[in-house]
Amino acid sequence: MSERPLDEAKRRIKIEQVVRDFFMILDQHHLTLEEGMVAWNMLGFTMFQEAYPEASHDQIQQQMLGFSQQLFESRRR
């Protein structure tokens, strides 16, 4: 039996836990969903800045958009 499906399942569980934790943080700080989306976007942008320090603001936004589209497409399969 291949470990790949098991590794993918573990990865998905970890990601889902991060999302649940993020919602708990929103609740703890009494933030609305709109404020949470702003915070999530800022976090994502910061992560992309760390990954691509030489990229411009527009380039980072394009990277984020491409990443989101790729992720969305992979979930459809």
Q: Are residues 15 and 3 in the same domain?
A: yes
What is the reported pLDDT for 2? 53
Banded pLDDT at 5 (limits 50, 70, 90): confident
Tens of pLDDT along 33-43? 999 999 999 99
What is the reported pLDDT for 23? 93
End-to-end alpha carbon distance in the chain: 22
Total domains present in the chain: 2
Q: Are residues 36 and 66 in the same domain?
A: yes
Q: Are residues 36 and 71 in the same domain?
A: yes
Q: Structure pTM?
A: 0.65
Q: Are residues 24 and 37 in the same domain?
A: no
Q: Is the pLDDT of residue 13 over 70?
A: yes
Range of the domain at 20: 1-30
Q: Are residues 57 and 73 in the same domain?
A: yes
CB 14 within 8 A of CB 28: no
